[in-house]
Structure 1
Amino acid sequence: MQLLLLSNSAAPGRGYLEHAREEIASALDGARRLVFVPYALADHDGYTAQVASALEPLGVEVTGAHTADDPAGLVRGAQAVFVGGGNSFRLLKALHERDLVRAIRERVAAGAVYMGSSAGTNMACPTLRTTNDMPIVQPPTFEALGLLPFQINPHYLDAKPDTAHMGETRAQRLEQFLEENDVPVVGLREGTWLRRDADRLTLGGIDAGAILFRRARDPEELRPGADLSTLLREEPRFDSAAR
């Protein structure tokens, strides 16, 4: 299984996907026909055009899943699938409504590259439960693609001691998730990504790194280059309603 899971698609002072262009080129590894899944945002045409422009220098032909009468059928013929960021609840609802959960799982298992950013990275997890988004719509289930046996929290933010915000920190919210579910969570800071190549999982990106949360353990700092392959052998234990 080939996965590239980005925390974010845009970095300050750089164009869309520019900060990860070399990694994207490496992950695609010659794939030239990519289906983009734009349902996390409302403007499907504009979103697809943005992705096509960003990937044009790599010689990649981008087709929006929304342009097909049968999006699932389009995905089944793709060399690569990119699920973009936006609202995770809206995205997951659309994936289930269009039979794309099954289609993406099957195509990726058959060898297609899966790339996600932000909400698209959330979709690679077993469930939606570690997203940061507001539930603007209600998907039929929180069950996502399950391309990984653990959870990810994209756009992970460290607490700022001098902030006036009095709500829970991101770490506190993830600890609450772990009170109900015994499943590791990787908090991906901005500019970082996870790359899966078969049974190998590696953290990449800028020096900000990531943080690993586990039930009843102290959070663990992860540096770029860290080998996280052991997470692929985890046996997740969700509460009975999690999926």
Structure 2
Amino acid sequence: MGDPASLRRRLLLVSNSTLHGGGYLDHCQSHIRSFLGQNVKRVLFVPYALHDRNAYAKMAREKFESLGYKLDSIHEAIDPGESVRKAEAIFIGGGNTFRLLKTLYDHGLVQPIRKRVLEDGVPYIGSSAGTNVATISINTTNDMPIVYPPSLLALGLVPFNINPHYLDPDVNSTHMGETREKRIQQYHEEPNTPPVLGLREGCLLLVEGDKATLQGKTGARLFVRGTNPTEHEPGADFSFLLNEGPQKL
């Protein structure tokens, strides 16, 4: 049996919001509808990763309403903490991960969101930066540190890190800089660093209690410190990554 808190955990962690050839969340809308089901009527949206929160909320609201859900944006709330405490489901969108995490800390929302998801079983959807902050830390984000959060520690809903938008090396490229794989391996040169799951675009991870399953149209690459990276196709069982339970913060 896992940690009692982790047994209530329900997460849908998406690599990217938009896939080439489609619109906003089109590639994962069936997963979202299946994940939220019919019991959820309203979704609390967190648009902190982008500067224009009004435009971001408008786009997200239109999409979720097309799927049959009302959407409230936390930036419009008088008391963001109360919005989290009353939320039926939480969706954190993409953008700059440093800006997102700093704003979560600024509003004192890290622990309240963590409590709602792990203890109360509130469904959590993350996309890109929203997926990054669901993990132990944002050390493996692709984003530039345009602002400085007080800590790189994130929500800790799972005991590992994720690299959204994972890119494979282009064998035809003349670029001589580090590949994404090399950057993650550099991270693992540091002691006590957790596994990193590289989610390619079009890929998502469904976590239900102590079970984690890779879904979507593309595969993922798993990096574990001290071992060679491994390839995994949709349908892969990643439950073993959850064995330690949610990260203690």
Normalising by the smaller structure, the TM-score range is over 0.9
**Is the CA contact 2:157–2:246 (under 8 Å) kept in the aligned structure 1?**
no
Asked if 1:8 is matched to 2:19, the reply is no
Percent identity over the alignment is 52
RMSD: 1.4
1:189 aligns with 2:197: no
Residue 205 of structure 1 aligns with an amino acid whose one-letter code is G
C-alpha contact (below 8 Å) 1:7/1:191 kept by paired residues: yes
- The alpha-carbon deviation at position 55 of structure 1 amounts to 1.1
Query: Which residues in structure 2 correspond to 1:162-181 (within 5 Å)?
Result: 162-180=172-190, 181=192
> Corresponding residue for 2:95?
86
Equivalent residue letter for 1:25 = R
Aligned residues, how many? 237
Asked if the contact 1:150/1:234 (under 8 Å) is kept, the reply is: no
Q: Which runs of 5+ in 2 are unaligned?
A: 1-8
The SS at the match of 1:179 is: coil
- Give the TM-score normalised by structure 2: 0.92
Distance change in 2, residues 1:214/1:236 (3 Å): farther
Letter in 1 for 2:229: P
TM-score normalized with structure 1 length: 0.95
Q: Partner residue of 1:131?
A: 141
The 1:235/1:17 distance shift into structure 2, 3 A limit, reads: closer
Greater relative CO (CA pairs within 8 A, separation 6+): 2
Give 1:223 deviation, angstroms: 0.4
Distance in 2 between residues matched to 1:170 and 1:34, nearest whole Å: 33
Kept in 2: contact 1:153–1:186 (CA 8 A)? yes
Deviation at 1:59, TM superposition (A): 1.3
Match of 2:161 among 137, 143, 151: 151
Contact 1:125–1:146 (CA under 8 A) maintained in structure 2: yes
Tell me if the contact between 1:34 and 1:81 (Cα under 8 Å) persists in the aligned partners.
Answer: yes
Q: Does 1:63 align with 2:82?
A: no
Q: How does 1:213-228 map to 2 (within 5 A)?
A: 213-228=223-238
Q: Which amino acid aligns with 1:14?
A: G
Q: What is the CA-CA distance between 1:236 and the residue it aligns to? A: 9.9
